[in-house]
Structure formats: structure tokens, C-alpha cells
Amino acid sequence: MTFNNIELYCQVLGSIMKDPQLLINYSPPVMMDDFSKDNPVARVVYQGMVGLIESGATNINITTIETFLNNYGTMKAIYNSNHGADFVHMCLEKGQPENFSSFYNQLKKNSLLRDLKEHNYDISPFDFESVEPGTKKEFECIERYEAATEEDILAYVEKSFSELRSRHSSTLSLSQTRIGDDIDTILSELGQFSDQGAELRGNMFNSIVRGARLGKMYVRSASTSGGKTRSSMFDACNIAFPYRYDCTHRCFRYIDGFEPQKVLFITTEQTPREIKTMALAFLSGVEERKILTNTMNSGEVERVKIAAEITKKYSDYFIMEEINDPNLNNVQNVIKKNILLNDVKYIFYDYIFTSPSLISQFSKTGIREDVALGMLSNQLKEIAKTYDVFVMTSTQLNGDGLQPGVKRDQRMIRGAKSIADKCDIGMIITAVDKTDLEKVNSFATKVGIAPSHVIDIYKVRSGRFKNVRLWTWYNLGNGDRRDLFITDADNNLMEFEPYELVASLEDASRAMTNQEVLNALRKDEF
């Protein structure tokens, strides 16, 4: 027996070939990574099968799969060199749609165990692969494996981690150090900005907050339809994808030295389809409204198609989860699952509000709305600290935050104090109104661009800049953004130079033609 079970792969794939609806009816669906990288032909056949199903095909067999793969040189080569035709024949022979539920559960269980093992989690009670064949220990492992569900395995891993944590963590400090210890290391690190996270949108903004730092929680507040979700989406895309369209120079760019990072985007209002459209707009530079209304010109259509290819190439780096009625339990479970299983480091939670489920969770305790919101924000902060991940979340503004001419800070957000107390970076984004523009018109004239939005950054934990206003030109339709200047809370211009490590898109990337991008994306598909 093995977690890389070829017969099981054939049973799963063959069942879907005979009844394509099975791919849609099961959640989460069967994914390519459910098939081991040690079995490339199964992954290629899966890709071909999914491609056919997405195009509306109902008759999936050796001929249709091979015809589809003929369009993808690398995939076809893998198929041919691994006796793909024989494999598909075996799939069709062993596929039993009526028994798919059993095949599906075992496939997902094997996939989970394989992932946990790859990331060095202890799965010894179920790991029959690692014990001597024919022994009593192997028999016991197989017995536990067959009886366990995915939830049982996850519960064991989480329990083991909790026990380890309890042995090695305490509110009482048990370690002692002297003030001179490692002082030379600290000196050598001064001025290096070592506490710098993955780059977010806006070079001035990045310099102030020092990027998306692991272990930290940032809170962005805005009015309804004020850009909370879009701003978070564009930041998430900035971290996950190395390609994007440069609207200024009208070309695609590849960020040199860019290492894609795994992102989890949790949506509580928007559908995954809406989120995907925002991603296409950001990557292509085409306004989202044009995509949605199909009013694009031929050049824009081509750019959106390239953006779609980018998302497919880097699909594993951007995971979406939909929680329509969030509470403390389901939010925590979704985030922990993706941290443990998908190695996610950057989490965007959109957004903190009092859902029916959250209210119900505390209905018998008499806890106020603001306290419940504070508990949710505290949970997000604890996750950031415990697992050393970055968390960005959002809140709504209250009515005071929308008044012209007022100083915007934590008093303007719902559940204000409890949420603001927990975050490392707190900010409010609002559209620039006539009153605002009058106060900074002379600065805008000098830079030659009128700001469209102002970001009031009211909290920067351990940072030089706080209670500042970042004035920016921001196209929320495609994420194109230019940070213009910074003032203090009273709208006095501040001298500011972005850190050297925060470069402009032009300086940090190379321009590429549409065809060059497509050629690069088609290389090394596996």
C-alpha cells in the first residue's frame, strides 16, 4: 500500500470520465495536487479531463484526451513518455461512478497525509508507508488509516501541536539573557530594514508600513463600496503574481527576482467569481467594468486572456475561501486549515462585521456588538502571532468617518477601540472630496496629479510615521496606483523619501510583449 495509489487514481479519474458531473458535485473538488507529483501521467490526464469538461465535453475517452493534449507540448510529452494511452484505458476500465464517494474520500485522505508528511508533520499513527512491511506495526497503521477520516487526522495533528506548544510555551519567562548578549548582531542589522515584508501596493505606503510583515495584522477601513475589498485584492495579487500590466508604459512586466507567495483570500460578501474578475482587471490593467460589460477593444481582450493564463500558471499561490456567515470557529478553522495544509503565509480577511452567526455565538452571554468584533479581531491577531503569518482585514466606517474635514482615526471605525488595539497598522481610506482637495491643492499642482484618495494612517506600531495622510491617485477599477505626497494630520506637507528597497514597477521589472509573456507562461508547465 502507498499514499501514491495508482489504482485509486484510475478509479477516481475513470469515474469522472464516465460521469463528468462528479467533478462539480463534490466539494472541495478533486484537484491536480490530489495526485502525487511522482505520478505525472495522472496529473496530466486530470488536466486534460478538466479542460474537456470546462469546454462542455461529455464524451471523455482516449481520443478526446489526446486531441486536447495535442495543444500542449509539454503535457503531451509527459503523457507519451508515461504510457498515457494505457493509463487512460485502465481508468475507463476501473471507473465506477456509483462508488465514487468511497474513491473520493480515500483520495482526499491520501492527499492530506502526503501533504502533512511533506511538511514534516507527525502522522506516524497512520503512516504505513514508513514501517517495515508485514509487521504488526504495519497492520496497526493500516487499521488506523482505514478507520480515520480527514478530520480525525487533522485533529491528531492539531492535538500534537497543542501538546508541543504547551510544553515549550509559558506566560512565565523561563529564559534569561543579559543586555549585552547579541548586541553586535543588533548593530549589524541597524538600517537594513530587516523587518520588511512582501510588497503591497504603493511605494510610499510600503515605506511607511514596511510591507506585509509576517506575524502582524493590518486593518483597513472604508465606507461601503469605498474600496476595502478591491484594495485587499490588489494587495493580494501583488504578492501572488510576478506579472502585471503597466498602465503607464502600456506593456506587461515581469518583476525581476520575484518569488510568488501563497495567499489566502477569505471573502464574506463577494462571490469567488467577482474576486476572479478583480484579479483579471489588476493583472491586465483593463477596467473591471469593461470586463463585466464586455465593452473591451481587441487589445484589451488579448490582455485579459493573458491575465487568465497568469492566474492559471500561479493558481496554487492564490486560494479563495467563501464564508458567508462568519463566526470565531469557522474563521479560525478555515485559516488554520490553509496554514497547515497549503503553507499559506499571507491572509486577507474581507471583512470584520457582526454576522448572524457571530451574534448567535454570544447571544446568551449578553456580549455587546463591539466586544464580539473585538474578539474576532483578537483571534486574527493571535493567528498572525502564533503561526507567523501576515493578516490584512477590513472594517466599515461609522457615519462620523464620512463627514468632510474631520480628522479620521480609530474613532471612526465600528468596534473602534477593541479592533484598533489589536492591529499593528491601522488606516482609513476615503475618496478625496472638495474640502480635502482645497487643503492640498498647492501640493497636487506641484506633482501634476490631483489625488483621488487619501489614506489616513492612524497607527503604526514601532514605526516612525503615524498620524499621517498619504495622498494617492488610485484607480479602483484596475488597481493602478501612484502615491503622490504625504502630509501630517493637519495637512502640512512632510518630507519623505521611500526606502531604497521599495522600487517603482518600472525600476524593479522588465517590459515584455504579449507574446513574450505567453511564451514564458507556457514553459515548464509542471
Is the same domain home to 110 and 222? no
Query: Which of 105, 120, 135 is a domain's end point?
Result: 120
- The answer to whether residue 183 is domain-embedded is no
Query: Which of 100, 120, 140 is a domain's end point?
Result: 120
Query: Which of 120, 149, 175 is a domain's end point?
Result: 120
**Cell, residue 238:** 501583488
The pLDDT of residue 525 is 43
Is the same domain home to 483 and 380? yes
For residue 455, give the amino acid letter. Answer: I
The pLDDT of residue 17 is 94
Is the same domain home to 285 and 387? yes
CATH code at 347? 3.40.50.300
The pLDDT tens digits for 101-160 are 999 999 999 999 988 888 888 888 888 888 888 888 888 888 998 898 888 888 888 777
Is the same domain home to 224 and 105? no
Domain range enclosing 45: 6-120
CATH code at 113? 1.10.860.10
- The answer to whether residue 164 is domain-embedded is no
The pLDDT of residue 193 is 45
Is the same domain home to 267 and 410? yes
The pLDDT of residue 413 is 76
Is the same domain home to 384 and 506? yes
- Does residue 331 contact residue 376 with C-beta atoms inside 8 Å? yes
Is the same domain home to 426 and 291? yes
Is the same domain home to 326 and 464? yes
Cβ contacts of residue 243 below 8 Å, gap of 6+? 252, 253, 254, 255, 283, 310, 512, 517, 521
- The answer to whether residue 463 is domain-embedded is yes
**Cell, residue 174:** 523561563
The pLDDT of residue 18 is 94
- The answer to whether residue 490 is domain-embedded is yes
The pLDDT of residue 492 is 93
The pLDDT of residue 167 is 55
The pLDDT of residue 414 is 61
For residue 311, give the amino acid letter. Answer: T
- The answer to whether residue 194 is domain-embedded is no
Query: Is residue 431 within a helix (H) or strand (E), and if so which, with residue range?
Result: strand 425-431
Which residues of the chain register pLDDT less than 50?
Answer: 169-176, 191-194, 500-502, 525-526
- The answer to whether residue 200 is domain-embedded is no
The pLDDT of residue 123 is 87
Is the same domain home to 309 and 456? yes
Pick from 450, 525, 496, 422: nearest CA to 208: 496
The pLDDT of residue 43 is 93
Report the number of distinct structural domains present in the chain.
Answer: 2
The pLDDT of residue 173 is 38
The pLDDT tens digits for 275-284 are 999 999 999 9
Q: Tell me how far apart the terminal alpha carbons of the chain are, to the nearest angstrom.
A: 26
- The answer to whether residue 325 is domain-embedded is yes
With b for 16 or more beta-carbon neighbours within 10 A and e for fewer, the 171-192 pattern comes to eeeeeeeeeeeeeeeeeeeeee
Collapsing DSSP to helix, strand or coil, 349 comes out as strand
Is the same domain home to 105 and 225? no
- The answer to whether residue 327 is domain-embedded is yes
